[in-house]
Structure 1
Amino acid sequence: MDLSGFMRYLEAPGDAADNASISRFFQELGAQAQMLEVVMSDPEVASLVADRYAPPSFEMDQLLAMPEGSLGRVYARFVDGHHFNPHFFHNVEGQSDLAYVLNRLRTTHDIWHVLLGFDSSEAGECGMNAFTFSQACTPTTCLLMAAKMIRSIPEAPDERRRLLQAIADGIKLGLQAPHFLAWRWEEHWSEPLEELRGRVGLSALTPAMKG
C-alpha cells in the first residue's frame, strides 16, 4: 500500500496529491467505508447525500460584494487573502455515496474554517483536522493531524502547546456541534456569520486562535 503521501506530510505540509494518496490508502483498508457508515447514521446527513445536494455556482467577486460580516464575504476574504485555491482538493470520481461525502467534505473545508474560527496556521489546520475527525471519523484527517503533531516535536514549546490546544478545541467543538456535513452552507452566504455561529452553538472563536 502507498504511504508516500503520509511520508511527505511528515516532512512538510503536503499537497493535494499527497492528500489524495492518503485517502486512497484508507479506502484500500476499508476505513473509508466505516467512516461512511458513521456519517450516514445521521438522518439529515443521509438526506443530503441521497439528494446529491449540489450548491449553486458562485464567483469570489459575488461573495466579496456581499454584506460586511456575512458568511460569503468572510469566506471570500479568507480564501482570497491567503491566495487559496477553492478547488485545491482532487475530486473523487464516481457516483457512490462515499465519493459524494468525500467531495462534500473537501469543498466545505474552508467554509468550516471560517465558521469555527481556525486560521490557516499549522495549529489552525490541526484544529480543523480534529473537528472533522470528531464529527465524521475521517481517517485521513486523523493521519494528517498525527503528521502535524510529529512535525511539532522540534518546535518551540509555545508553538507545540498552541497546536495541542487547537486539537483539544477541535475535538470539543466537533463533539458538541451539530453535524456540519448536514448543512447546506452555500444557501447561507448572505447571512451574518455570527448569527450562523450562534445557530450551531459556537458562541466565540476557539481559544487557541485568539492569540
Structure 2
Amino acid sequence: MINRPHVRLNGLHQAAVALGSAVGALLDPRRADLIAALGETTGKPAFERVLERMKRSPEGRAVLLERPRVISEKVGHAWDLPPNTFGAAYASFMGSRNFSPDDRPPVRFLDTEELAYVAMRAREVHDFWHTLFGLPTNLIGESALKVIEFEQMLLPMCLMSVVGGTARFSEKQRSLFYQQYFPWALRAGMKSTDLMCIYYEMNFDEDLEEVRRRWGIIPAPQLQK
C-alpha cells in the first residue's frame, strides 16, 4: 500500500482542480505538484489502460505484485555499480541535476490503490526514461520526453505539457524541436517496448547499451547548447 494523502473529489471539484493545475503549471512549469495534480485529475482512463496492460504482461504483473518504489532507500545501490551499467547511468543522471528520487509529490486524487500505484510508478520511472533516451531536463529535453510519454500512456497531461512547453520556446528552440526532436520522439515512442511493463530495478547491473537494444530504445540526438 502507498502511504499517500488521498483526497476524494466529485466531478465538479475534479474539473476545478484540473483547470487550476493546468493554469498554474503553464505559468510555472517547475511546479511538480501542479503537474502531478493535472496528470491525476485528467488521466484516470489512461492509467486504467496502463494497469490492464501491466496485468497482461508477466513483468508488469511482477511490478504490480511487488510494487517497487524508486526512492533513495531502494535505489541507492545504483551509485556503486560499474560505469557501463544502466544503474550507474541513472545515478550519474540524478547526480548531474542534484535531484533526489524522494522529491516526487505523492498521488492524491486517484481512488484505488492499484491506480494510485500505477500513477506513482509512471511518475517515478520518468528519470529512468531520461537516462535511457539520453535526454536532459532542459525545456527541449522535457518536451521531447513528454511526447514519448504521451505515446506510451496517452495521458492528456503529457500533450498539454508539450503544448505549454513549446509555447515557451525561443524561435531557435522551436525550430530545433520540431525539425529534430519531435520526429525523433514520435519514432522512439513507437519503436520502444511497453515501458510501463518493465521492472527497471532488476536490470540496474546490466550494460546500458544492452538494455537499450532489448527494449528498443533509440537514444536522442545530441542536444545543442
TM range (shorter): 0.7 to 0.9
Q: Is the 8 A contact 1:52 1:100 kept in 2?
A: no
In the alignment, structure 2 segments of 5+ residues that lack a partner are 1-15
Deviations 1:144-188 (A, max 9, x none): 111102222xx13x2112233323322221111110110000111
SS in 2 for 1:194: helix
Find the aligned partners of 1:151 and 1:173 in 2 and give their Cα distance.
24
Letter in 1 for 2:115: L
Matched, 1:140 2:157: yes
Find the aligned partners of 2:74 and 2:40 in 1 and give their Cα distance.
29
Residue matched to 1:37: 49
Q: Normalised by the size of structure 1, how large is the TM-score?
A: 0.84
Find the aligned partners of 1:6 and 1:40 in 2 and give their Cα distance.
27
Letter in 1 for 2:35: N
Residue matched to 2:88: 73
The 1:159/1:22 distance shift into structure 2, 3 A limit, reads same
Residue matched to 2:61: 47
Matched, 1:169 2:184: yes
Deviations 1:32-59 (A, max 9, x none): 2244225524621762464253258435
Residue matched to 1:112: 129
Q: What RMSD in Å do the two structures reach over aligned CA positions? A: 2.4
Residue matched to 1:84: 99
From 139, 154, 159, the counterpart of 2:173: 159
Q: Is the 8 A contact 1:169 1:208 kept in 2?
A: no
Deviations 1:113-149 (A, max 9, x none): 1011111111110111111110111122121111102
In the alignment, structure 1 segments of 5+ residues that lack a partner are none
May I ask how many residue pairs the two structures share in their alignment?
Answer: 202
Q: Normalised by the size of structure 2, how large is the TM-score?
A: 0.79
How high is the sequence identity, in percent, across the aligned residues? 22
Find the aligned partners of 1:167 and 1:16 in 2 and give their Cα distance.
23
Deviations 1:53-84 (A, max 9, x none): 32584354x32221012111111111111111
The 1:89/1:167 distance shift into structure 2, 3 A limit, reads farther
Q: Is the 8 A contact 1:11 1:151 kept in 2?
A: no
